[in-house]
Amino acid sequence: MPESKKPLAGLKILDFSTLLPGPYASMIMAEMGAEVLRVESPSRPDLVKGLTPQIEGVSAAYRQLNDKKDVCYLDLKQPEAAEQVKVLVKDYDIVLEQFRPGVMDRLGVGYEALRECKADLIYCSITGYGQSGPYRDRAGHDINYLALSGLADYSRRKGEAPVPQGMQVADLAGGSHQAVMAILTAVIQRQTQGIGQYIDISMTDAAFSLNGMAGAAALAGGEQPEAETGWLNGGTFYDYYETADGRYMAVGSLEPQFQQRLLEVLNLTHLAVDCADFSQEAQSRVKASIREVFLGETFSHWCTAFAQTDACVEPVLTFEEACRHQHLVERQVIKSGHYTQQMAPAFRFE
């Protein structure tokens, strides 16, 4: 789709953020057609730039996040910088920043200062703990936000330590995605009401909201979520199962029709009653039997066995294997960037 016809064509974003949450959010909006100007410090480079592998002097991750953006260099600590930003912001719709609370105000480019230059400005701040509360000035990373949200405690095996995630759940699902949703909602409000908006995104708040079903049940008087007690965290046969060669299969066959197909492929149809019984005793028996059967054959065997069976059972792929998977290839999840292959946006506009 031509850039001029993309949904956010004409929207202009001034992005002061670094690392992952803010740049990922502006990357999403750039992919949707927004014009993004990234403001970088000439003396304090974004740490993501230094990661490996390097491509033309910056990391592949930096390229992924910023290839569709323009960049300017401005030292916000210099006295004249605030006036330069105030002139610049008049041509922009949105400001995105990721400093600790109060930093942009001290630099003279906070929301109150900039909305004097542009009354309908949309200004979004992404921080670990939000603009208020006793933790507002506290440092943090993804693992800390997940820890405080309660998610890390019950997303683990019983009696074992929580496991660091392979991707940044709070940064992306909590910071980036929430910021994009809030910003675009504010854009609609400006179109209908003619007003700007200040948006306070706390990655810890957002991570807490991801408790979803388990949290809703607990707050309504149900059981508190604990490791391996829920439908989706290992308390049922919805789980990962090791194969004979040390690989894993993911079983999500919760609905009756999928349970039936799972048991048929595994030759465990005698467990149908237990499978549909979500008591701890019944599920323990089912899981033990499923575990034993999966351990009896190789990963390749089970991939073939479930390939043509609609049972919500899929192989746990490496990233390299995922890049070659027939469905993902057909969906074109990898695109050609300016310097190397990159992950394509997850949305499709016709």
Q: Tens digit of pLDDT for each residue in 249-263? A: 999 999 999 999 999
Q: Which of 46, 93, 142, 171 is catalytic?
A: 171
Q: Where in the chain is the domain with CATH 3.40.50.10540?
A: 3-209
CATH 3.30.1540.10 placement within the chain: 239-316
Reported confidence tier of residue 350, pLDDT bands at 50, 70, 90: confident
Q: In this predicted model, what pLDDT tens digit does every residue of 175-234 receive, in sequence order?
A: 999 999 999 999 999 999 999 999 999 999 999 999 999 999 999 999 999 999 999 999
Is the model's pLDDT at 62 over the cut of 90?
Answer: yes
d(CA 195, CA 261): 55
Q: Please, what's the b/e burial string for 21-42 (b: 16 or more CB within 10 A of its CB; e: otherwise)?
A: bbbbbbbbbbbbbbbbbbbbee
Rounded Cα distance between 140 and 60, Å, is: 25
Q: Is 141 a catalytic residue?
A: yes
How far is it, in rounded angstroms, from Cα 262 to Cα 128? 42
Q: Report the topology of domain 239-316.
A: formyl-coa transferase, domain 3 (3.30.1540)
Q: What is the pLDDT of residue 349?
A: 86
Residue 346: band (very low, low, confident or very high) from pLDDT cuts 50, 70, 90: very high
**How far is residue 297's CA from residue 315's CA, in Å, rounded to a whole number?**
13
Tokens encoding 84: 């330069």
By CB atoms closer than 10 A (0-12, 13-18, 19+), residue 251 is buried
**Does the structure show a pLDDT above 80 at 1?**
no
Q: Is the pTM of this model over 0.75?
A: yes
Instruction: Give the position of tokens 């330069």.
Output: 84
Catalytic option among 67, 120, 141, 177? 141
Residue 158: predicted pLDDT: 95
Apex 212 CA angle, 161 and 259, nearest 5: 80
Q: Which residues contact 14 (CB under 8 A, 6 or more apart)?
A: 37, 39, 85, 88, 89, 92, 94, 95, 96
What dotted CATH number matches 3-209?
3.40.50.10540
Beta bridge partners of 96: 15, 124
Are 72 and 40 in contact by the 8 Å Cβ rule? The answer is yes
In 3D space, the residue among 311, 309, 333, 313 whose CA is nearest the CA of residue 322 turns out to be 333
Amino acid 198: pLDDT: 98
Over residues 22-34, mean pLDDT? 97
Task: Please state, in angstroms and as integers, the Cα–Cα distance from residue 4 to each residue in 7, 35, 332, 338, following that order.
Answer: 9, 11, 22, 20
How many Cβ atoms from other residues are within 10 Å of residue 310's Cβ?
10
Query: Token digits for 26?
Result: 């502006």
327 belongs to the catalytic site: no
